[in-house]
Chains A and B, each alone.
Chain A
Amino acid sequence: GNSVTQMEGPVTLSEEAFLTINCTYTATGYPSLFWYVQYPGEGLQLLLKATKADDKGSNKGFEATYRKETTSFHLEKGSVQVSDSAVYFCALSDLVLTGGGNKLTFGTGTQLKVEL
């Protein structure tokens, strides 16, 4: 079956530091890959996505590249801010197997804390 593995948190960084959150996946089809973010007290929001190999998703300074050869989709940001403090979830949607709908398989989430 499909699965997503992401690095455990919490990750604590100083403002303006470089961020990497690792994510690897297992899927039997041709998945689309996503990063969702959950800010304190808010619902899940899509941060970025990539639908095929070598695609790069980007949003709000965050980037992730779909690497089929390493089955990875690592999240990066060059300079984090305090406002980036949140829980980040890597997810996949396998369109081949889920003929009735693109249900998401999530990782366990990585909490990011950014300090001044």
Chain B
Amino acid sequence: GAGVSQSPRYKVAKRGQDVALRCDPISGHVSLFWYQQALGQGPEFLTYFQNEAQLDKSGLPSDRFFAERPEGSVSTLKIQRTQQEDSAVYLCASSLGFAAGSSYEQYFGPGTRLTVT
């Protein structure tokens, strides 16, 4: 079946521009995560959705970062007034759901590589 898809795969933005990154999770997956991966580093958590509810946004680095998942499926990560330090790969992951005592596998998309010039 189809995996997690992300678009665009590559994005070049001039400093100060706004960007929108899209994530299509696996159909039926309740949980959706965004991570940021800087060059040579591991992914770092940004935010988490359970259906359309954003339950954790503790990893968003500033108020320039905004994420939404209005219908509980597709999600968009928006970065306003991009800065050079925003250059990274942005990863989306989805999982079937969450229940206490279990650990559902997260399936990752290929990522969007953002370069801010």
Chain B residues, Cβ within 8 Å of A79: none
- The reply on B1 being an interface residue by CB < 8 A is no
Chain B residues, Cβ within 8 Å of A46: 105-107
* Stretch binding the partner chain, chosen from B18-26, B36-44, B64-72, B80-88: B36-44
Residue of A nearest to B31 (CB): A101
> Once the chains bind, are A43 and B55 in contact (CB under 8 Å)?
no
* B41 touches which of A42, A93, A95, A108 (Cβ 8 Å): A108
> Once the chains bind, are A104 and B103 in contact (CB under 8 Å)?
no
* A102 touches which of B4, B103, B107 (Cβ 8 Å): B103
B37-75 residues at the A interface, CB under 8 angstroms: 40-45, 48, 50, 55-56, 59
Chain B residues, Cβ within 8 Å of A51: 103
> Once the chains bind, are B48 and A44 in contact (CB under 8 Å)?
no
* B42 touches which of A95, A100, A106 (Cβ 8 Å): A106
> Once the chains bind, are A44 and B56 in contact (CB under 8 Å)?
no
> Once the chains bind, are B103 and A100 in contact (CB under 8 Å)?
no
- The reply on A98 being an interface residue by CB < 8 A is yes
Main secondary structure of the interface of B (DSSP, over half): loop
> Once the chains bind, are B110 and A105 in contact (CB under 8 Å)?
no
How close is B53's CB to chain A, nearest CB, in angstroms? 8
Q: Do A109 and B41 form a contact, CB below 8 Å, given A98-B56, A101-B31, A103-B56? A: yes
A residues neighboring B (CB under 8 Å): 4, 32, 36, 42-46, 49, 51, 89, 91, 93, 95, 98, 100-109
- The reply on B98 being an interface residue by CB < 8 A is yes
How close is A52's CB to chain B, nearest CB, in angstroms? 10
How close is B32's CB to chain A, nearest CB, in angstroms? 9
Chain A residues, Cβ within 8 Å of B105: 46, 49
Chain A residues, Cβ within 8 Å of B104: 102
* A54 CA / B55 CA spacing, docked (Å): 32
> Once the chains bind, are B98 and A101 in contact (CB under 8 Å)?
yes
Smallest CB-CB A-B distances: 5 pairs: A106-B42, A100-B55, A44-B108, A32-B103, A101-B48
